[in-house]
Structure 1
């Protein structure tokens, strides 16, 4: 049994399969989930777990070299926008429809319980060396 870190076996296993350049979409409960990527649905109730909790949990275990979010988050969900801008120096913003199209290429989708709009980010995995 794992002692710490991500204990959800499906999520822990999905993270272990990732490689350099792979995409990981962290999304809210309203985001369209594309067919194809492995999906780990953590949503329990509206707001649980929050986007921030899931994001920070994944960032503690992943090497991330890039992140993309929808530019609509700035106006519709300033709290999520601020969180993303604090976590990523070179955060890219694209229209929400483009983010949905890009997410089809993700290797892993992690659905949070977040119930505020545009709390979504597509991470690009890096390497630790």
Structure 2
């Protein structure tokens, strides 16, 4: 049994398969999930697990070279906007519609139980060397 890190076997396995340039969408419970990417659905109840908890766990295990969020998050969900701005030096913003289009190219989608709007981010994996 693992001692720490991501304990969910489906998510741990999916993370282990990621490579440089792969996209990972971490999303709230309301984000439409496109056909194609592997999906690990962690949603249990509204708010559980939270976007911030799942994002923190993923950032402990992933090298991220860039991140994209919906520009609407800054106005509608200041808490998520602050979390995202503080988590990424290279954070860019696009419209929510554009983020949905971009998410179709993700290799992995991690759905949280977050029930606040626009708590979504598309990560681009980097390399550790």
TM-score by length of 2: 0.99
**2-structure distance, mates of 1:24, 1:80:** 17
Structure 1 residue 3: Cα displacement: 1.0
**1-structure distance, mates of 2:99, 2:79:** 19
Residue segments in structure 2 that go unaligned for 5+ positions in a row: none
Q: What do residues 84-105 of structure 1 show as CA deviations (whole Å, max 9, x unaligned)?
A: 0000011000000000000000
Q: Which residue number corresponds to residue 10 of structure 1? A: 10
**1-structure distance, mates of 2:29, 2:109:** 12
RMSD, matched Cα = 0.4
Q: Which residue number corresponds to residue 66 of structure 1? A: 66
Structure 1 residue 46: Cα displacement: 0.2
Structure 1 residue 17: Cα displacement: 0.5
Aligned: 1:42 with 2:42: yes
TM-score by length of 1: 0.99
> Which 4+ stretches in 1 moved above 6 angstroms?
none
Residue segments in structure 1 that go unaligned for 5+ positions in a row: none
Structure 1 residue 74: Cα displacement: 0.3
